[in-house]
Amino acid sequence: DQQVKQNSPSLSVQEGRISILNCDYTNSMFDYFLWYKKYPAEGPTFLISISSIKDKNEDGRFTVFLNKSAKHLSLHIVPSQPGDSAVYFCASTNFGNEKLTFGTGTRLTIIP
Of 99 and 112, nearer to another protein (C-beta) is: 99
**Number of amino acids touching another protein (CB under 8 A):** 28
User: How many Cβ atoms are within 10 Å of 9's Cβ, its own excluded?
Assistant: 10
102 binds another protein (CB under 8 A): yes
Contact present, 92 and 62 (Cβ < 8 Å):
no
Q: Under the criterion CB under 8 A, does residue 95 sit at the interface with another protein?
A: yes
> According to the 3-state scheme, what is the secondary structure of 35-88?
EEEECCCCCCEEEEEEECCCCEEEECCEEEEEECCCCEEEEEECCCCHHHCEEE
Question: How far is residue 96 CA from its own chain's centroid?
Answer: 21
Smallest distance, another protein to C-beta of residue 45, A: 7
* Contact characters 34-73, another protein, x per CB under 8 A: x-x-x--xxxxxx--x------------------------
Element (H, E) at 25: strand 19-25
Of the candidates 8, 20, 22, 32, which one interacts with another protein according to CB under 8 A?
Answer: 32
Q: Contact positions toward another protein, by CB under 8 A?
A: 4, 6, 9, 32, 34, 36, 38, 41-46, 49, 89, 91, 93, 95-105
